[in-house]
Chain A
Amino acid sequence: EVQLVESGGGLVKPGGSLRLSCAASGFNLDEYTINWVRQAPGKGLEWVSSISSRSSYIFYADSVKGRFTISRDNAESSVFLQMNSLRAEDTARYYCVREEDFSAYGDSWGPGILVTVSS
């Protein structure tokens, strides 16, 4: 069974940092692109970042560029999102989303992890 499980969320003050992890199981992570998608409370979906299977292609939304860094360790079946200089508007549930390379859609989503940025 395909599983994606996020961890590392929580409450952080503005300007602080968090590192989210996405643990993958039930499939070969090194054959898939992984995206992070977030959803602010009561709002719609917003794409955040993506990393291709071999880390050859990495992209960010303008809203997080320069503050967030995506990375992966295929040997450990994990993908990470380092989030620095956090702002109140980064408060959201963050989903780890699997994408077959270059298909450009998410075929499997993790349950998400909540990140709250507040003083």
Chain B
Amino acid sequence: KFMLTQPHSVSGSPGETVTISCTRSTGNFGNFSVHWYQQRPGSVPMVVMFFDDQRPSGVPDRFSGSVDSSASSASLIISGLKTEDEADYYCQSYDASSWVFGGGTHLTVL
């Protein structure tokens, strides 16, 4: 089984850009896409990025996703930070038989 590693927390001020990273221990995102979920306090997780860089309808274009050239690391980039972006963010990938979530990153908007 592989693991996904995320920073425990990140922070930024309104209007700034933050990047949340996600590193896969084995395998690569080239073969297995990465997806990202936002979970606001007391709420249900919702997908904010799928298939590495695809944004669901309703998610603002301030959110973007990328995978690096080695395909072992992925990023969720949030630009023009707003207070409503304060939440926990989880990356998720998969192998042939299971999903794996990263440990989650708490985003604080200062």
| Interface set of A (CB-CB < 8 Å, partner B) | 35, 37, 44-47, 50, 59, 61-62, 95, 103-107, 109-112
Contact = CB atoms under 8 A, between A and B. Distances in A.
Interface in B22-47: 32-33, 35, 37, 39, 44-47
Given A104-B35, A105-B92, A109-B46, A44 B103 contact: yes
Interface of B: 1, 32-33, 35, 37, 39, 44-47, 50-51, 56, 88, 90, 92-94, 97-104
B102 to A, nearest CB: 8
Q: In this complex, which of B32, B99, B101 has the most chain A Cβ atoms within 10 angstroms of its Cβ? A: B99
B43 to A, nearest CB: 9
Given A45-B104, A47-B99, A47-B101, A106 B47 contact: yes
Contacts of B33: 104-105
Contacts of B102: 44
Contacts of A59: 97-98
Contacts of B104: 44-45
A45 B45 CA distance: 9
A23 to B, nearest CB: 16
A95 B45 CA distance: 9
Q: In this complex, which of A46, A104, A109 has the most chain B Cβ atoms within 10 angstroms of its Cβ? A: A104
A63 to B, nearest CB: 11
